[in-house]
Structure 1
């Protein structure tokens, strides 16, 4: 039974709109992935995971120091405009109590930047395969970051925390301190990774739907169709031919 010309035109119009929608969502997903990969670097290096509160207490007649603490360094306020920081990312040695947390955040950082580099594979592989690879990498990044955020409060009972936050500090009890923006940003990153990975899986399934009915499983789209679907990524790398 032959398909009427009107129905065929409607089918082509629907496919065109489908490809345009997938292209727009794919660009949004790529931009969000790149942005949070940069934010992940900030989360790792910033000494603002925990810090003293505004109302300081005293210990043995002397006030507690004011400052902030990250995974690699402790910064105490001083008479100078610049805080006095001990440690740093340049030494590549995190604080002893936060070594496991720093390793997990580092693995999460590696995974998300690997997913960014995998965007170059759109030139060589099928789009569905690339989306699935990126989705699993983002799930790995989110899982490692979630473990880091869970282990971080459990590591508060340490000498570094006692110097900054007082003797009342303990596991999941910050004493005279409170969590700062870097730790909150890491918590938000877990939700962000879950959303990005889910979106990547959805895009992969959508791209599978664009394959011709007689195409073997796993076979990439022809070069012309891939160029039509993913020319949007030339904004970043210019790898799709004209």
Structure 2
């Protein structure tokens, strides 16, 4: 009975380690994807855009275009839209400086968690998971705050020029929310899920230690 119990304990620990490594690898891939998504959220001028409206009495339609944290892009006769802003120097539009800074901080936290993946070869895995979890929580908080401050800043010259009348805080007027803003809101949920998973993986790392394997074996042998 004793050799059989020891073999069961060994198999149990082996399967547990494999499952934890598989989930950890999936978490690492999702963390890297989230970091790339953060870059797209930051640079894309598609947070808000004009919507199609029908005007009567010969009234001119509003300009068609989109707006982001750094640029305002208007459709033109050329295949490439005409954009105004300072994306190359990473200078945000004056009204959106606070959301842009928060998204940059969130981006830095996410890429810091990606850099921490290299620490798995040198540090305790549980510690690395928990460090990444706190970084991802900070990134999610900053991104959530940016998503709140962005519509609060809609009453600005750039929004009025693009969306015309009816623009105010949390009211885009003749515009509507575009995919980059939706992606930012989904990024908040993604950060929360990744941070929670990192905390769970960090807390379960103690079960992967050899000492725990000896304890499990001892319990099986005593049974």
Q: What is the TM-score normalised by the length of structure 1? A: 0.84
**1:70, CA displacement in angstroms?**
0.3
Name the structure 1 match of 2:160.
Answer: 162
**1:87, CA displacement in angstroms?**
0.8
Name the structure 2 match of 1:40.
Answer: 38
Report how many aligned residue pairs link the two structures.
211
Question: Which of 180, 183, 186 is the matching residue for 2:184?
Answer: 186
**1:56, CA displacement in angstroms?**
5.7
**1:61, CA displacement in angstroms?**
4.3
2-side partners of 1:34 and 1:121: how far apart?
Answer: 15
Structure number with higher relative contact order (C-alpha < 8 Å, ≥ 6 residues apart): 2
**1:205, CA displacement in angstroms?**
1.0
Q: Secondary structure at the match of 2:69?
A: coil
Within-5 A mapping of 1:1-242: 4-55=2-53, 61-213=59-211
Q: Secondary structure at the match of 1:178?
A: strand
RMSD: 1.6
Instruction: Please say if residues 125 and 205 of structure 2, whose CA atoms lie closer than 8 Å, have aligned partners that are also in contact.
Output: yes
Unaligned runs of 5+ in 1: 215-242
Decide whether aligned partners of structure 1 residues 55 and 49 sit closer, same or farther in structure 2, where only a CA change above 3 A counts. same
Instruction: Please say if residues 156 and 171 of structure 1, whose CA atoms lie closer than 8 Å, have aligned partners that are also in contact.
Output: yes
2-side partners of 1:166 and 1:195: how far apart?
Answer: 38
Name the structure 2 match of 1:226.
Answer: none
2-side partners of 1:64 and 1:56: how far apart?
Answer: 10
**1:211, CA displacement in angstroms?**
2.3
Residues 157-184 of structure 1, C-alpha deviations (whole Å, 9 max, x = no match): 1010000001210001000000000000
2-side partners of 1:48 and 1:197: how far apart?
Answer: 27
**1:63, CA displacement in angstroms?**
2.5
Q: Which runs of 4+ in 1 moved over 4 A?
A: none
Instruction: Please say if residues 56 and 176 of structure 1, whose CA atoms lie closer than 8 Å, have aligned partners that are also in contact.
Output: no
